[in-house]
Amino acid sequence: MSAPVRVALLFPGQGSQYLGMGRAVAAEFPDAADVFRQADDVLGIALSRLMWEGPETELVRTENAQPAILTHSVAVMRALCAQLGEVSMAAGHSLGEYSAHVAAETLSFEEALEVVRLRSELMSAAGAMRAGSMAAVLGMADEEVEALCEEASDVPGSIVVPANFNSLGQVVISGDADAIERMIALAPQFGAKKVVPLSVSGAFHSPLMEPAEEGLEARLKLADFRAARFPVYCNVDARPVSDGEAARDRLVRQLTRPVRWAASIRAMVGEGANRFVELGPGNVLTGLNRRNARGIESLSVAEPNEIVALGQG
């Protein structure tokens, strides 16, 4: 007798946006179209037009990309609500954790959208205040990257830290540009296969984001958090949260601490997740599951044909 299906929803973070995202879904699914209209109304800008028509140079800006990804993820979720069946748990990568809480009904979409817009503005401002950078380190163990970050930070006023523990052999680092350059120079000597600089507007998930923390915490205190319909695995500690107050706390701490993504997926598998469904733009998290959840069904859903295929599967 086969084990019952335990669905785990995954939601992507910044960097997954693309021009035209969500246009076809809105055209074919009324529930998804409503989400885009809501986003435009709540933010008071034509976010949907920016997502569908660009210019791309504006879409990729942090303060636009984050609300756009949240909106697309929620639109896809609403479009296939009936096909998903019972959901057992969820997680989201960085920004995607807000999408996961909307799915779990910890936060309303409208409130999450307002918070995410402010979060993105605060992060962008922090990046302008103290310029930082990020890079992906490939082929090194987590603890090796952590040790190397400490060595590269051995200069007063210059730091680099692990920002995303994405999968075995893939860790994203974040910090001051000169510290990142030292890491890039040192990493091959310590076994890194490759170090790839990332095009970002700040040193996300590092202490360089501390100026954004106070404003985000103040806004989150005003938000109406409810008990989650199903557990959301949090970036900061890879543990499930169902309590609204605990969710609020984790979202504040998430801003300056690393995303423990691989550990989150392992924890979900340990709790019986046997079908991962990534909702929203791109398929980055589904790709990471080739290492994080070997042999477990993982699929990404962003376009109408993928929504239909999931319903038929």
For residue 84, is pLDDT > 90? Answer: no
87 closest CA partner among 233, 273, 241, 261:
273
Active site residues: 94, 205
Task: Please return the burial class of 290, using the count of CB atoms within 10 Å of its CB with bins 0-12, 13-18 and 19+.
Answer: exposed
214 closest CA partner among 180, 241, 252:
252
pLDDT digits (tens, 9 = 90+) for 240-262: 999 999 999 999 999 999 999 99
Q: Give the pLDDT of residue 313.
A: 58
Say how far apart CA 82 and CA 27 lie, in whole Å: 18
For residue 293, is pLDDT > 90? Answer: yes
**Percent above pLDDT 70 for the chain:** 98
Residue 201's pLDDT band (boundaries 50, 70, 90)? confident
Residue 2's pLDDT band (boundaries 50, 70, 90)? low
- State mean pLDDT over 53-75: 97
Mean pLDDT of the chain: 95
Structural contact between residues 119 and 218, judged by C-beta atoms closer than 8 angstroms:
no
The hierarchical CATH code for the domain 132-201 is 3.30.70.250
Angstrom CA distances, 233 to 101, 128, 229, 243, stand at 10, 31, 13, 12
The ranges of the chain annotated as CATH 3.30.70.250 are: 132-201
**Which residues sit opposite 173 in a β-bridge?**
135, 162
Residue 3's pLDDT band (boundaries 50, 70, 90)? confident
Of 79-83, 131-135, 153-157, 292-296, the range with the lowest mean pLDDT is 79-83
Whole-number CA gyration radius for the chain: 19
Structural contact between residues 35 and 78, judged by C-beta atoms closer than 8 angstroms:
yes
Would you list the DSSP string of 136-183? EEES--HHHHHHHHHHHT-BTTB-EEEEEEEETTEEEEEEEHHHHHHH
Say how far apart CA 68 and CA 19 lie, in whole Å: 10
Residue 1's pLDDT band (boundaries 50, 70, 90)? low
Residue 291's pLDDT band (boundaries 50, 70, 90)? very high
The ranges of the chain annotated as CATH 3.40.366.10 are: 7-127+208-312
Would you list the DSSP string of 286-299? HHHHHHHTTTSEEE
- Phi, psi (deg, nearest 5) at residue 166: -80, -40
For domain 7-127+208-312, the CATH architecture is: 3-Layer(aba) Sandwich (3.40)
Q: Where are the beta strands (DSSP E) in the chain?
A: 7-11, 87-92, 132-138, 160-167, 170-176, 194-198, 232-233, 240-241, 275-279, 297-301
Q: Token digits for 203?
A: 């040193």
**Which residues sit opposite 165 in a β-bridge?**
171
Structural contact between residues 208 and 160, judged by C-beta atoms closer than 8 angstroms:
no
Q: Give the pLDDT of residue 312.
A: 65
